[in-house]
Structure 1
C-alpha cells in the first residue's frame, strides 16, 4: 500500500461519515448469515464491523450478549459484568443494547456513574480487584473497535481473569450468537432501555477514581512529580479523556490535555497513511498533530479510543517506533523493579528481535507467542510474566510489588512509564533506545499490508513449512521456519522465517480485510527491502497454489 496524498493532513468533508445514517443502519439493517461478512466473527480483539455493511448491527450485539449471558450461567459466574465503551459513534447504541439484554437475563451490570466512557484497561482492573475479594466472579464487556475508522463498531469479552477471552470461549460465543440470529432472535431476551436502566440489577460506580487511585501501585509517581516532568496528552478523542485531569490533580503532576474534543466522526483527526480517519497512536500520520508539539513537553503521549494502546513522542526523536519503545520499557522495568529473576518477558512473534537481544543482555527468560494479547493473560495473572507486549503498541506489566496490575493492554501505564523513565534515568525513551542500539545493534523493521479476501486470508493462515522451498532469505541461510510460536507452541496462523540477521512473518489480519507482512533486518534497510520482496513472492505463491 502506498502513502495517500492526504496522509497526515486534516480530514476533508468527503472523509467524514454520516453519523445519523450510521446509527439508523445499526437499528434497521439486518444481517443475512448466508453472506459470510454478515456473521458474528471474533478476531484477535472481539467482533468488529460496520452498520453500513450489515456486520455490526443491533442483532449482532443482542445475540452476542445473549450468548455471553448463557455462557456466564453455564460457568456459574454470579458476580457483576462491568461494561466499558469508547467514543465511536456505534459504541453508544451497542452499549444500550448490551444493557437491555444482560439485565433481561438477570445479569448484574455495573457502569460508569455518569454513564460516560470507560477504557479497556479500567475494565480489566475492575474485574481483577473484584475477584481478589469475592467468590462471586465478575467479568466484563468493552464496546470498542479500538483504533478502527469511525464507521466501525466493536465488542470484546473479558472473562474473570480480566484479559481478552481465549479462543475456545470466543468460538462458543460466536457460534451461539450466529445460531440466535439464524433463529430470528427468538431466544434473545431484551428489555426496553427505560426498564433496564431502572432495574436494581444495574448499578453505577466511579470507575475513574477507582483506577486513578491505584496508579501509584504500578508507576513511580513520586519520581515523575519530583522531576517535574511536563507531559502533553492527546486522547485522540478517546475514552480516557476524563482520566488525565484526574490523574494530574490527584498526584500533582504537570499534565496538559492538548485536545479535549469528543466527536464520533473523529473529524479533527489527521488522515492516516491510507487516507482514512484512523485513531492509530503508533502512526506518524494520525499523530502528526501531537508530533508538531514535541518541543512543548518533556514527554508527549497519545492513545487509541479505548486506551489499550500507547504512542510516545519525545523532543529528541519524535514519535517512537512501538518496537523501540517496547525494548526500552522492558530493559528499564527489568532493571528497575525488584521482581523475581525468573520472571519472563513476553513478546509476540512479530515484535522486534531487539527485544530478544535485550533479554539476552540482562539474562531474563523470553517467551515468544502468536499475535494477540490473550496469550499473555495467564502469565500476567500468575506473575510469571513481568511484561507482555505487541508490536502494535499494546502492552502491560506487573505492579511494582510484582502482583498483577491488569491482564489486558494498558495505554495509561505505558505512557506514564515513559515519564518515569525520564525522571529516573535522565534519558527520554528515545535517548534510552539509542543507548541500547550502541550495545545491541540497530534493527530495521518494516510492515506492509495488502487487501485480501476471506479466501486469501484462509490460505495464508494455513501455510506450512512446505511452502518454503528456498534455503536462503535475502542472502542468508534460513535457520528456522515456524508455524507455531516457540514460547507456547500455539499456532501462528501464518508463517515466520528466520535467519541470523533477519526474519519475516506473514499472517492475515484478524480484524480487517488485509494481510500483513512483518520483517526485520539487523544489517541495513536494503537488506530489509530484500526480505520483504522475497516474503511477498512467497505469499503470492501461496495464493496461486490455492487458485486465488
Structure 2
C-alpha cells in the first residue's frame, strides 16, 4: 500500500474516502494525539481531508487543519503546532485523477521504516483504538501556516544581490515561493500561479519537457534564473539564464558541493549520478547511499556528519533547517547560489557531466520482475547491491533495476564515463528486465 512516497493512486480505485478514514484511525491509534492535516489543490482533496480528519478524531486525536498548502508546509507545521504527526493529502506530481496521503513524523520527516510498518499493519488488520463518545478529538484551523513557512525561508537564506526569477507554479500550491523570493528582494515573474488541481497549464511533474514554456520565458527575458514546482511544491527544478533546464543530478551536485565541507557526507538515493560524488570529492566530502524516496534520504540525515540530502527528481533536504523536501526553501537556495556566483549557466558548466540514461519498462508484476533480475545477476557479477532493487557496479560504470514505488513500471538506470559504455550497460540492464518479465509472464500463464 505504501510506496516510496506514502500512499498514492487513482481516486475511487486505489485511494478512497474509506481508505483515508482508516489511515486517520491508524495514525491516531499509533499514539498521535495531535495531528496536522493539509492538502494540495486537487478536486478530491477536501473530501479526503474530511475523511482522514474524521478517522483521527474517532480515535481521540486533535486535528490542526492548515488548508491548501505546499506539502512541506504540512511537514514543518508538525513542529510549529506541537503535533505528533502530519498528514498531507496529495498525489504530488501525479496526474489530476490521482490522490494520496503522505505521513509525517514528529521531527518533520516522512514516515518510513518501522513507523510506517506499524500503520500499515493496523490498516491490514483493521485494528483501531476507537475513542468513547466523550473522548473524540477536536479540530481547529491554523491560517498562519503559510506565513510561518515564508518567514522561515526568509530567515534562513541570504540572497545578495537578489536575482530576477521566473517561478512556474504549475497550478499547484507553490505560490509561496514567489512571496518568499520577493521578501528576499528578488524581482519575480510567475507562470501558472492560479491553483487548479486539474493542472491545465502543464502536467504537474516539472520535467524538461513540461517546462519548455518556462525555459522560453527565462531565455527571452532579463531573468537570471527560473524555478518550477510540482503540484504540492515539495519538488523544485531550475532553469539557467539562457533557458537551459538543469539536470537533476547536476543540481544535486551543486547543492551538495555548496553545503558540504571536509569530512561531511551527503545522503543520495542509489540511483544518483557519480557526478555528485565527483563534486563532493573536490571539497573533501563524500556520499552515502539510501533507498529511493525522500523519507529514506531524510532518515539518513539524522546521522551527525550528513549535512544535506537530495534526489535527482527535485527533492532537496537541508536537515539543519527542515527534514522534509521543501521546494520553497530550495528555490531560495538556488537564488542564493546565483547571487553568490553570478551565473547559473557558469555553475552548470563547471560540473563535468557523466553520460547517464534513465527509462522505464511497464509491467503489472514489477516486484516479481526485479526479484527475477536479482536471481539472474547473482552469479554473473561480483559487485551487486540490493538495498533498493538490483544495482550492478563495474569498474567503469553501473546499472540499476528497481521497481517503482508509485507506478506499474520497472525503472532502469545506467551510467558510465564513456557514452558507448553507458549505452552498453543500459542495454544489458534492459535486456535483463525484458527477459525476467517474459519468464514471470510465462509462469503466471502456466499457473492460470
Q: What are the superposed Cα offsets for residues 125-164 of structure 1, whole Å, 9 maximum, x if unpaired? A: 2224555xxxxx5211111111000000010111212111
Question: Kindly tell me: are residues 190 and 230 of structure 1, through their superposed partners in 2, closer, same or farther at Cα, counting changes over 3 Å?
Answer: farther
Q: Tell me how far 1:521 sits from its aligned partner.
A: 1.9
| Matched residue, 2:186 | 253
Distance change >3 Å, CA 424–CA 57, structure 1 → 2: same
Contact 2:225–2:239 (Cα < 8 Å) also in 1: yes
1:69 matched to 2:25: no
Cα offset for 1:513? 0.9
Q: In the alignment, is residue 87 of structure 1 matched against residue 2 of structure 2? A: no
In 2, Cα distance between the equivalents of 1:470 and 1:458? 19
CA contact (8 A) 1:301 1:310 kept: yes
| Equivalent residue runs for 1:318-329 within 5 Å | 318-329=244-255
Deviations 1:329-367 (A, max 9, x none): 1112226xxxxx433211111010111112222111321
Q: Give per-residue Cα distances to partners, 1:152-202, cap 9 Å, x unaligned.
A: 00101112121111232222222322433xx9xx987899xxxx9xx8542
Q: Tell me the TM-score normalized by structure 2.
A: 0.90
In the alignment, the residues of structure 1 paired with residue 124 and residue 267 of structure 2 have an alpha-carbon distance, to the nearest angstrom, of 34
The question of 1:539 aligning with 2:433 is answered yes
Match of 1:304 in 2: 230
- SS of the residue 1:173 aligns to: helix
Matched residues in 2 for 1:396 and 1:176: separation? 30
Q: Displacement of 1:51 after TM fit? A: 2.5
Task: Specify the alignment match of 1:60 in structure 2.
Answer: 19
Q: Does 1:43 align with 2:14?
A: no
Gaps of 5+ in 1: 1-40, 132-136, 270-277, 336-340, 399-403, 472-478, 484-490
The corresponding residue for 1:434 is 349
1:287 aligns with 2:179: no
Match of 1:3 in 2: none
Match of 2:325 in 1: 409
5+ residue gaps in structure 2?
none
Which of 416, 421, 431 aligns to 2:337? It is 421
SS in 1 for 2:165: strand
CA contact (8 A) 2:263 2:285 kept: yes
Q: Is the CA contact 2:38–2:69 (under 8 Å) kept in the aligned structure 1?
A: yes
SS across alignment from 2:301: helix
The 2-side partners of 1:233 and 1:284 are apart by: 15
Paired position in structure 2 for 1:487 = none
Work out the CA distance in 1 between the residues paired with 2:208 and 2:299: 33
Normalising by the residue count of structure 1, what TM-score does the alignment of the two structures yield? 0.75
Pick aligned residue for 2:110 from 164, 178, 181: 164
Deviations 1:47-95 (A, max 9, x none): 111124x2111111111111111012xxxx44x2111211122222111
Verify: 1:154 aligned to 2:100, yes or no: yes
User: What displacement does 1:443 show?
Assistant: 0.6
1:482 is matched with which residue: 376, 385, 405?
385
Q: Secondary structure at the match of 2:47?
A: helix
Q: CA deviation at 1:322?
A: 0.5
Coordinate RMSD, CA, aligned: 2.5
Q: Does 1:447 align with 2:447?
A: no
Note the alpha carbon deviations across 1:207-256, whole angstroms, 9 max, x for none.
Answer: 111111121443223x2xxx230011011011122x13432453333122
Task: Please give the secondary structure, in 2, of the residue aligned with 1:214.
Answer: helix
| Alignment correspondent of 1:107 | 61
Matched residue SS, 1:110: strand
Query: Is the Cα–Cα contact under 8 Å of residues 147 and 280 in structure 1 kept in the other structure?
Result: yes
What is the rounded CA distance, in whole Å, between the counterparts of 2:47 and 2:304 in structure 1? 37
Counterpart position of 1:486: none
For the residue of structure 2 that corresponds to 1:293, the secondary structure is: helix
Name the counterpart of 1:275.
Answer: none
Matched, 1:219 2:134: no
Change (3 A) 1:164 1:253: same
